[in-house]
Structure 1
């Protein structure tokens, strides 16, 4: 079901309905998330993450303003990856007053959370400031993404950030960017 693009929470609900309730299921939602995460990390440990890191390292040798950083878990599996390059960093310097934190789910074969940090330039065109992957959403990943993004941008904080309203994102924007105004995408499109 996950390979078909069905979200983990929906898979869990379906299994609960089929089993006739949580008490008949034999495992908790956390167990399912952990099992799926282990499968994802095994797939990534098979060399793809090493290839991505090697590719970015090679690019960085020819482009010293390319910034990338990654973190691994206790078993060497990739947890987080963020990258940006000189044009993106220049765009952030010029147009980064408003930062859009856009996250998409289940769009890559490893089911990593894909995050695009972007804004709008003076021609009303989208400009991408950085891209990232994290294994799972939540406190650890968002804390890492926001602090690494600020490191890549030499500590410059945006005036406003637009997100989907996730509680973990809100928490770390407030912690790491205390003077930044936080807006929810749903309230902007009304």
Structure 2
């Protein structure tokens, strides 16, 4: 079986690091692939194509941009806290110190929750964004029947652990005031998190999401 088959088109971290170093000193991608080919002892030993290398380098560049934007966002939130002492923000990182989960809420949103937080709704439909992660707004309805945002979270994965983290920190931000009812899109991981963190809250399913996902 040829190493250029789709299932084997994996660019190793060592090759990516070496290619990145060469690109930083203005070596063209074609020259980089030729160099790596010579190092490997021929095309049959490389295991990836010119296109694979380009894609791998682009993914690395995109990750750097995203990580930089996330760091800028967190820095902005720290700065915002000086203007809004009631601003709440907390985040977690993984083993590689990459952002895992993030949640924030300003003083107005936290005040709104005090009055209108008996019923909250959240879902993770906002996946097409700069960060490439599910963005989860936690919303409610005020006395004018307008939608209001209580908090916003960016999560790494749609798992019960991530949702539990979000719910636990919502409670922390809202001085442990638990909602009476929670409206979701029916995600099972989300249901599990609700039962774990706020077991006495009534869980309701959003009919719009159910019909859309049917």
- TM-score range (shorter-chain normalised) is 0.7 to 0.9
- Cα separation, 1, equivalents of 2:126 and 2:143: 29
Provide the TM-score with structure 2 as the length reference: 0.67
Superposed CA RMSD in Å reads 2.4
What does 1:64-143 correspond to in 2, within 5 Å? Answer: 64-143=85-164
Q: CA deviation at 1:26?
A: 4.6
Q: 2:66 aligns with which of 17, 38, 44?
A: 44
- TM-score normalised to structure 1 length: 0.75
CA shift digits 1:18-63 (9 cap, x unpaired): xxxxxxx859xxxxxxx9xx96755433x11111111000010121
What's the counterpart of residue 19 of structure 1? none
Q: Offset at 1:82?
A: 0.5
Q: Does the aligned pair in 1 maintain the 2:66–2:130 contact within 8 Å?
A: no
**Kept in 1: contact 2:171–2:177 (CA 8 A):** yes
For the residues of structure 2 that align with 1:187 and 1:159, how far apart are their CA atoms? Answer: 21
- Following superposition, the deviation at residue 101 of structure 1 comes to 1.0
Structure 2's unaligned 5+ residue stretches are: 1-5, 9-55
Aligned with 1:157 (options 174, 178, 184): 178
Paired residues of 1:160 and 1:180 also in contact (CA < 8 A): yes
Higher strand share: 1
Higher relative contact order (CA 8 A, sep 6+): 1
Give the corresponding residue for 1:183: 204
Structure-2 residue corresponding to 1:171:
192
Unaligned ranges ≥5, structure 1: 1-24, 28-34
Q: 1:144 aligned to 144, 165, 180, which one?
A: 165
Larger Rg belongs to: 2
